[in-house]
Chains A and B, each alone.
Chain A
């Protein structure tokens, strides 16, 4: 069975500092990987996704993530954060080509950007 572990429940950083939000997954088959962002009182918005090809994926708002198959990781990074990046971030995985295609979500990481 697939599972997703987000290693940090909260990440406080100062504005303009770099940030990395960590995500590890476990699966016995090939996977698709996703990062979603949730601002307060909002639904989830897709930041980026890895389906195939280059392991470095660029998303919206200056975020990027790198798929590392050997370490079963998909960490999210941004070189310089803004106050507006304060939100909750969810990592998710689905089975490659699976007929069901349901996403399995991590428990989320709260990013707090301080001035």
Chain B
């Protein structure tokens, strides 16, 4: 079944650790996105990609980085986690043309 997967769903980690949030989709979508969302709050676009080897920063400045080596895979990395990074991270993908996104279930990150 075509879908978009995020792992882990929940992560509690200590300050200073390096973490990678995984996002994979099986729909063959070229476009992929990362959003940051504090509980009950609005979505903030932090990274997006229009295809392999394409990455762009979003509207909200983030200390995270992303890579797009394969169409289906768009991981997000924090080199040194801090409590201010505590949030929910949502991955999405889409076809070109503005027809809407498919979202993953999200990763809730807590940095202690």
Contact = CB atoms under 8 A, between A and B. Distances in A.
Contact of A44 (B41, B48, B103): B103
Contact of A45 (B6, B41, B97, B103): B103
Contact of A101 (B31, B45, B90): B31
A94 B103 contact: no
Contacts of B88: 41
Most buried by B among A92, A94, A95, A107: A94
Contacts of B95: 101
Contact of B98 (A45, A46, A95): A95
Interface residues of B, number: 27
B24 interface: no
A43 B108 CA distance: 11
A98 to B, nearest CB: 5
Interface in B65-112: 88, 90, 92, 94-106, 108
Interface in A41-77: 41-46, 49, 51
A94 B98 contact: yes
A1 B40 CA distance: 26
A103 B40 contact: no
A102 B48 contact: yes
What 7 A-B pairs have minimum CB-CB distances, sorted nearest first? A101-B98, A94-B98, A43-B103, A107-B42, A44-B103, A43-B105, A43-B106
Given A34-B100, A90-B43, A97-B97, 17 more contacts: A32-B98, A32-B99, A36-B103, A41-B106, A43-B6, A43-B105, A43-B106, A44-B101, A46-B102, A49-B100, A51-B99, A94-B99, A98-B97, A100-B98, A101-B99, A102-B48, A103-B98
Interface of A: 32, 34, 36, 41-46, 49, 51, 88, 90, 92, 94-103, 105-108, 110
